[in-house]
Amino acid sequence: MSVELSFDEAKQRVSELRELLDRYSHEYYVLDQPTIPDSEYDQLYRELVELEEAYPELVSADSPTQRVGGTILEGFEKVTHETPMLSLDNAFNQEELYAFDQRIKRLTDAPFRYTCELKIDGLAMSLRYEDGRLVQAATRGDGQTGENVTNNVRTIKPIPLRLKEPLTVEVRGEVYMPKESFLALNAEREEEGLAVFANPRNAAAGTLRNLDPAVTAKRNLNFYLYTLMQAGNYGVSSQSEALETMNEWGLRVNPDRRTFDNIEDVWAFIEEYQEKRDSLPYEIDGIVIKVDEFAVQEEVGYTVRAPRWAIAYKFPAEEGRTIVRDIEWSVGRTGVVTPTAIMDPVQLAGTTVQRATLHNEDLLRQKDVRLLDTVIVRKAGDIIPEVVRVDFDARSEDSEPYPIPENCPACGSELVHLEEEVALRCMNPQCPAQAVERVIHFVSRNAMNIDGLGEKIIQQLYEKGFVSNAADLYALTYDQMIQLDKIADKSARNLLGAIDASRTNSLERLLFGLGIRHVGAKAARLLAERFETMDQLKAATQEEIQSIEGIGEIIAESVIAFFDLPEAQELIDRLASQGVNMSYTGPKRSQAEQMDSIFNGKTVVLTGKLESFTRPALKELIEQRGGKVTGSVSKKTDLVIAGEEAGSKLTKAQELNVTVWNEDELTNSLNREETIE
């Protein structure tokens, strides 16, 4: 259409169109009861787009046209949850479920019911609305602090940008990827030569944390709500009533929920959905059972990490039968050679599985897996499939034990079974398989974090002779990158930009990326903080390295052995010559400053809500001053810092006569230390 309306007429029509589109979207995504054909919806949507293009001043954040994303984010800011997003305790069988019921009955004499909801395998999310408009979406994170993913969540169509009423409210639920969307996404990624996602939950997490909201918009995430915060403010007194109320507000809640008077009916519901789970359009891994009445919930209370009035019944790990056709051996970056069973396709946890890990030679022998064996495979918790056991009754009489390889499948060198290890190992430092895996590790998230440089690209770079070790990455040219399959102009420039940006990473990332045996991300951080530069670390003695709290003899020996290797020295020299940073640039206090701190050498426990600090920030601050932060109070605890609503940790500290500070005492102590410095 051509816009021929005046501003006032356009303003009125925009309001009408938004109301219509919100209603039709709610009918389609929430109620699953569309009342108009897609073509009519599309026509109304196009009309709204044209009006907003003609009158840009009419565009608002809650318009249906603003769901498509667009601005690429630089990162996610942290969000502190006013009320922590707690975990749930688990039950794995009927006996544990009935024990939960008995605990509730011991804690209250009041009558109560149970509300049962499907436990969707997704990501917990908090949504905050002000005057009916979505203003913030935050991930659960560690329960205390999450990430602000509002721009991405705005692109999820089932989540309303505006409620039916101008309410200020926080609600919580689960973001997930439907099975159909997951299969389509993986098919698309396979065609593009990209790594596929292991399961719908990982796909949803990767989508939600993508820095480009346009990517989120394309991947068809969905959402179910299950928690109404401060429910009493809205006249709601039970979980079942809260779910119905949120539904009335235009928020999506799962219709597959029931409320029961007794635990026997709860068990019947669990059995019903254990049978139905494969037919659902999304993955579930259990049932969540909650005391329905909020007053009884408050009476029953909480433990440190979870509510006592709720439990998650986890379905047993799904298993399947199949036949082993081959055993494939692969070489990791440290030379470890691991076996993988290649099997007839079998359906597990909603996906087709043809490969299952056998972990190592000892386990292969212990389980006695042979070619043509019928095996039971499992995919517990949607992690890597594994062979659980062999059906020996189905084994052929002429079956023979599987021969363990004596030579590396990648380079042909003789394999070694070191006395202290269960793994076979290729000791050849020039082994091509190890070279590729070492570079893959070097670019990984916790190492140099070079975005976009995945396994298939690195494999191509190696095969073309462009990269044989990590230092070669920094010498790559545009002409080389453009030769790779499915790498066009923009992708090549983005990859080179990501490689260049990684030069400035702090030393601990480089140390972890080098793949020094036994040196994980935490040990790399301790080493970088203590020695500050690569040269100082290289010159350190084993005794000096071992003197760092958290660094033991094995790590110290490994570090010394690594820097003694001529190949390691050459690699580090080449990285330095390519402009890769060799210094620690993170926060650090000297040992002298730590000695002056009251926290130095102290074991500290944090509990309750703090006004002036987030828990991660305070933990880091204490550790910088030589303290150690632990999660539980014991006789070894020196200090407990207690904020508002401190619970059992404070009680235990008082029982053990452990020193307790409130936030004012903490702040005064820190201020005194700053004055001394």
Task: Write down which residue in 472, 488, 504 finishes a domain.
Answer: 504
For residue 404, the 8-state DSSP code is: P
pLDDT of residue 565: 78
> Is 239 part of a structural domain of the chain?
yes
What lies within 8 Å, CB to CB, of 655 at 6+ separation is none
DSSP 557-596: HHHHHHHH-HHHHHHHHHHHHTT---B--S----HHHHHH
* Domains held by the chain: number: 6
State whether 493 and 626 are in the same domain.
Answer: no
pLDDT of residue 298: 94
> Is 583 part of a structural domain of the chain?
no
In the numeric block, which tokens belong to residue 582?
């060799």
State whether 310 and 335 are in the same domain.
Answer: no
Angle at 23 between CA 62 and CA 230, to 5 degrees: 65
State whether 528 and 632 are in the same domain.
Answer: no
Q: Which residues of the chain have pLDDT under 70?
A: 1-3, 26, 28-34, 37-39, 42, 66-75, 190-196, 198, 304, 317, 333, 349-350, 379-384, 418-422, 427-430, 587-596, 616, 671-677
State whether 163 and 281 are in the same domain.
Answer: yes
pLDDT of residue 67: 58
What digits encode the pLDDT tens for the residues 474-498?
A: 999 999 999 999 899 999 999 999 9
Buried b (16+ CB within 10 A) or exposed e, 403-431: eeeeebebbeeebeeeeeeebbbbebeeb
pLDDT of residue 382: 45
One-letter amino acid at 566 equals P
For 372, the domain range is 319-395+403-411
Angle at 351 between CA 346 and CA 353, to 5 degrees: 40
Hey, which residues are catalytic here? 119
Report whether 102 contacts 264 (CB < 8 A). no
Backbone dihedral region for residue 73 (phi beyond 0: left; psi -120 to 50: alpha; all else: beta): beta
State whether 242 and 309 are in the same domain.
Answer: yes
State whether 226 and 357 are in the same domain.
Answer: no
Q: What is the pTM of this model?
A: 0.48
For residue 27, the 8-state DSSP code is: I
> Is 582 part of a structural domain of the chain?
no
One-letter amino acid at 22 equals D
Dist CA 397 CA 327 (whole Å) = 20
Task: Write down which residue in 255, 286, 314 finishes a domain.
Answer: 314
Q: CA of 608: how far to CAs of 110, 576, 590, 654, 669, in Å?
A: 29, 46, 30, 15, 19
pLDDT of residue 70: 39
> Is 584 part of a structural domain of the chain?
no
> Is 80 part of a structural domain of the chain?
no
State whether 170 and 301 are in the same domain.
Answer: yes
What digits encode the pLDDT tens for the residues 39-84?
A: 677 678 778 878 887 788 887 777 777 654 434 345 678 888 888 8
Report whether 225 contacts 257 (CB < 8 A). no
State whether 530 and 558 are in the same domain.
Answer: yes
Dist CA 495 CA 478 (whole Å) = 9
Task: Write down which residue in 246, 279, 314 finishes a domain.
Answer: 314
State whether 173 and 154 are in the same domain.
Answer: yes
Dist CA 318 CA 331 (whole Å) = 29
- Partners of 166 in the β-ladder: none
> Is 75 part of a structural domain of the chain?
no
> Is 57 part of a structural domain of the chain?
yes
State whether 214 and 342 are in the same domain.
Answer: no
> Is 83 part of a structural domain of the chain?
no
Dist CA 536 CA 580 (whole Å) = 16
Dist CA 625 CA 590 (whole Å) = 9
State whether 298 and 344 are in the same domain.
Answer: no
CATH at residue 347: 2.40.50.140
State whether 483 and 521 are in the same domain.
Answer: no
CATH at residue 478: 1.10.150.20
- Burial, 102: exposed, middle or buried (Cβ in 10 Å; 0-12, 13-18, 19+)? exposed
